[in-house]
């Protein structure tokens, strides 16, 4: 039992475990769980979270990364009894007992995916009702959601990037699944999911549209690694494009100009 729990802890944390492997390697099941824009790993589905099942070989040569592009992850591993079984997880749930503190270095950020749209005149007709509804439901600036859609796909619901991003909002498959999207090419689902994702990014970055756009393009991990917009040529150009479009869409929607950013006194 001690061997099994030690091995599972290593798999959960994406670490190499120094212990003898069983004669016949087995597959271990780990669940990647999402709740309120936070990610956790668990050996059983977490109550109240959306969990995706992952199977990992004991003898995998490289520790599996189930965290995604989150940069350096620091947290606590807990154990709890669930349905009569001992369960390990990285989210503090009722009845959970801390086992150890951990630090995991995930990949530094996925390369930016290209936007397909070009800066041009605002387009208010494509999916106008869907954009208004999604922006209102997620309490996010309608003009910003449209600016992202314009930069990403030029409002083409069938757009597909070389890296596999899909639909109007060009969401990556894993992101789409975590947002509850069943069809990444359905324009209504894509717009709702994109607005929800942008809302979470703006909460993360305290309303900073620049960092939210950078994270949408290059990933949260890349923004964390560089402390702001990553120095990728594509991302720098993408952010400039979105910022220009954001201004144009606010004007087209007859919204007041954004307040200028505060700067430190020189």
246: region left, alpha or beta (phi > 0 left; psi from -120 to 50 alpha) = alpha
Task: Provide the token pair at 235.
Answer: 């991302």
How confident is the model at residue 100, as a pLDDT? 86
Answer yes or no: pTM beyond 0.75: no
How confident is the model at residue 2, as a pLDDT? 42
Task: Provide the token pair at 168.
Answer: 């109007």
CB 52 within 8 Å of CB 40: no
Ranges of residues in the chain with a pLDDT under 70 are 1-26, 58-64, 68-71, 105-118, 259-266
Which are the contacts of 236, defined by CB distance < 8 A and separation ≥ 6? 229
How confident is the model at residue 266, as a pLDDT? 24
How confident is the model at residue 21, as a pLDDT? 40
- Catalytic residue annotation: 152
Kindly list the structural domains of the chain, giving each domain's residue range(s) and its CATH number in brackets, ordered by start.
2-105 (no CATH), 128-252 (1.10.530.10)
How confident is the model at residue 67, as a pLDDT? 73
How confident is the model at residue 51, as a pLDDT? 85
Q: Alpha helices of the chain — where are they, by DSSP H?
A: 2-13, 128-138, 142-153, 173-178, 187-204, 209-218, 220-226, 233-252
97-118 per-position pLDDT tens digit:
998 887 776 655 445 555 666 6
């Amino acid at each position: 039992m001690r061997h099994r729990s030690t091995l599972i802890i290593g798999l959960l944390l994406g670490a190499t475990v120094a212990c003898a492997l069983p004669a016949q390697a087995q597959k271990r099941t780990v669940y990647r769980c999402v709740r309120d824009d936070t990610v956790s790993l668990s050996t059983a589905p977490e109550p109240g979270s959306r969990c995706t099942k992952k199977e990992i070989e004991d003898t995998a040569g490289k520790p599996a990364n189930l965290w995604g592009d989150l940069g350096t992850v620091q947290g606590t591993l807990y154990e709890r009894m669930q349905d009569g079984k001992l369960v390990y997880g990285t989210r503090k749930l009722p009845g959970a007992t801390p086992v150890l503190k951990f630090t995991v270095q995930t990949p530094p950020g996925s390369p930016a995916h290209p936007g397909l749209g070009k800066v041009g005149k605002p387009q208010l007709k494509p999916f106008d009702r869907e954009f208004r509804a999604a922006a209102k439901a997620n309490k996010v600036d309608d003009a910003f959601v449209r600016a992202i859609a314009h930069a990403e796909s030029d409002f083409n619901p069938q757009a597909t990037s070389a890296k596999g991003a899909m639909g109007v909002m060009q969401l990556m498959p894993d992101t789409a699944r975590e947002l509850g999207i069943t069809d990444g090419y359905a324009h209504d689902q894509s717009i709702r999911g994109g607005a929800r994702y942008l809302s979470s990014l703006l909460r993360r970055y305290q309303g900073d549209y620049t960092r939210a756009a950078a994270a949408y393009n290059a990933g949260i991990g890349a923004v964390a690694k560089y402390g702001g917009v990553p120095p990728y040529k594509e991302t720098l150009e993408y952010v400039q494009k979105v910022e220009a479009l954001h201004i144009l869409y606010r004007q087209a929607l007859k919204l007041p100009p954004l307040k200028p950013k505060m700067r430190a006194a020189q």
